[in-house]
């Protein structure tokens, strides 16, 4: 009798576990509708105004340039390759805290993207291994696994495949963090990569450059607009101690960027019927002095030096 009872209980438990698997494997419909029902129960009796606010809440994404986009923007602005500007891979052993590893995952990812776009094969291999060490330290599982590195080695002379592999590792890493609610870590990684892009770009601007016409300077100034998004992203995760540490640096950059004035004319969308590409036509004017640019470059250098130390 006891055996029978035990067996039936076991069967019931196995059945329930099986149902759980089916639940997890189904389209996301059921999981969310279950959540919705719980939410409805919770809302019952709740202040109507609050309930309305919840029902109208929007999902908001703040999109920063990825390390790959940053590297492409720098390259397309006419930058050259300078290995001395990158964070030496030997520094990986220095980073032990979550903050250090997250910032330097972003930094190494930008170095990796920059090296790969300039077809620096050995540097590409070195930096994917450096990025892997940081990702492993942060327990970002499978973002950069051994098969990925092997695939990269096998295609090291094919830039298109290399760039695609980098794009995929970034996607894996970002989705891993997003899916686990680790948006604060993701934000710190992105800030690390973004600051590294600023460091490379500001370092490559020649001392005698005309800041009104230099393409790299134009890209650096454009970051004033991205800075607003960086701030919003960090404010969304402001209860995280690592985000708080990074936010202080970003605010210092903002105080300098606030001295740069950008104005835009109205945008007109014009579609080219032959290519199906729409051009958003507008003009912008920028007010910046060489002193402000120098101040910005020095602040970037100071922050970045601290991040890699």
Partner 1 sequence: MKHIIYLSILLAVFALAPYKVAAQCKQFAKNTCKVGLAPYQHDGNYHAAILLEGEEAELYKTFYSNTDYRIGVCGANNLGNIEFILVDGTGKVLYNNKLHSYDWKWDFRLDASQQLKIVIKIPVSGNQPENPMEGCVAIMFGFKDK
Cβ atoms within 10 Å, residue 32: 11
In this structure, what token pair is assigned to residue 25?
A: 């494997």
> Rounded to an integer, what distance in angstroms lies between the CA atom of residue 163 and that of residue 112?
10
Helix, coil or strand: residue 143: coil
Nearer to partner 1, 103 or 143 (CB): 143
Instruction: Give whichever of 11 and 97 is closer to partner 1, judged by the CB atom.
Output: 11
Minimum CB distance to partner 1, residue 233 (Å) = 9
With contact defined as beta carbons under 8 Å apart, do 242 and 184 qualify? yes
Question: Please, which residue, 58 or 84, has the CB nearer to partner 1?
Answer: 58
| Cα 302 from Cα 161, distance rounded (Å) | 35
CB of 122 to partner 1, least distance (A): 21
Q: Which of residues 48 and 59 has its CB atom nearest to partner 1 in the complex? A: 59
Q: How far is the CB of 154 from partner 1 (least distance, A)?
A: 20
Q: Which is nearer to partner 1, 28 or 208 (CB)?
A: 28
Neighbours of 171 (CB within 10 A): 12
Residue from 104, 115, 90, 103 nearest 166 by CA: 115
Q: How far is the CB of 33 from partner 1 (least distance, A)?
A: 6
Evaluate whether 249 touches 107 at the Cβ level (below 8 Å). no
Count how many Cα atoms sit within 13 Å of the Cα of residue 275 in the half-sphere of its side chain. 6
CB of 173 to partner 1, least distance (A): 8
Beta carbon of residue 252, minimum distance to partner 1 (angstroms, whole number): 20
Closer to partner 1 by Cβ: residue 77 or 243: 77
As a whole number of angstroms, the distance between CA 216 and CA 197 comes to: 11
Grouping H, G, I as helix, E, B as strand and the rest as coil, residue 241 is helix
Two tokens, residue 145:
């696994």
The CA distance from 233 to 214, in Å, is 29
How many Å apart are CA 201 and CA 197, to the nearest integer? 6
Dihedrals phi, psi of 143, to nearest 5 degrees: -65, -45
Closer residue to partner 1 in complex, CB, 208/275: 275
To the nearest whole angstrom, how small is the minimum distance from the Cβ of residue 278 to partner 1?
4
Q: Considering the complex, what minimum distance in angstroms separates the CB of residue 142 from partner 1?
A: 11
């Amino acid at each position: 009798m006891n055996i029978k009872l035990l067996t039936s209980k076991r069967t019931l438990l196995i059945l329930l576990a099986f149902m759980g698997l089916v639940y997890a494997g189904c389209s996301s419909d059921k999981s969310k509708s279950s959540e919705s029902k719980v939410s409805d129960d919770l809302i019952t009796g709740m202040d109507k105004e609050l309930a309305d606010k919840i029902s109208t809440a929007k999902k908001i994404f703040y999109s920063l340039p990825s390390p790959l986009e940053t590297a492409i923007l720098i390259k397309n602005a006419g930058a050259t390759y300078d290995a001395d500007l990158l964070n030496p891979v030997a520094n990986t052993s220095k980073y032990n805290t979550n903050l250090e590893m997250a910032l330097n995952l972003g930094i190494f990812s930008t170095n990796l993207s920059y090296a790969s776009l300039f077809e620096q094969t050995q540097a590409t291999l070195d930096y994917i291994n450096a990025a892997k060490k940081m990702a492993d330290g942060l327990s970002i599982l499978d973002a950069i696994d051994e098969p990925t590195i092997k695939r990269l080695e096998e295609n090291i002379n094919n830039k298109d495949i290399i760039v695609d592999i980098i794009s995929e590792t970034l996607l894996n890493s970002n989705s891993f963090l997003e899916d686990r609610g680790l948006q604060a870590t993701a934000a710190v990684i992105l800030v690390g990569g973004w600051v590294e892009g600023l460091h490379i770009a500001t370092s490559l601007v020649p001392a005698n450059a005309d800041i009104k016409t230099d393409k790299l300077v134009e890209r650096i100034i454009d970051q004033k607009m991205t800075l607003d998004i960086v701030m919003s992203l960090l404010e969304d995760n402001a209860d995280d101690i690592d985000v708080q540490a990074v936010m202080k640096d970003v605010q210092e950059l903002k105080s300098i960027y606030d001295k740069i004035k950008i104005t835009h004319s109205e945008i007109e969308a014009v579609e080219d019927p032959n290519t199906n590409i729409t051009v958003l036509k507008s003009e912008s004017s920028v007010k910046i002095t060489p002193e402000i640019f120098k101040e910005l470059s020095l602040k970037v250098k100071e922050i970045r030096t601290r991040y890699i130390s």
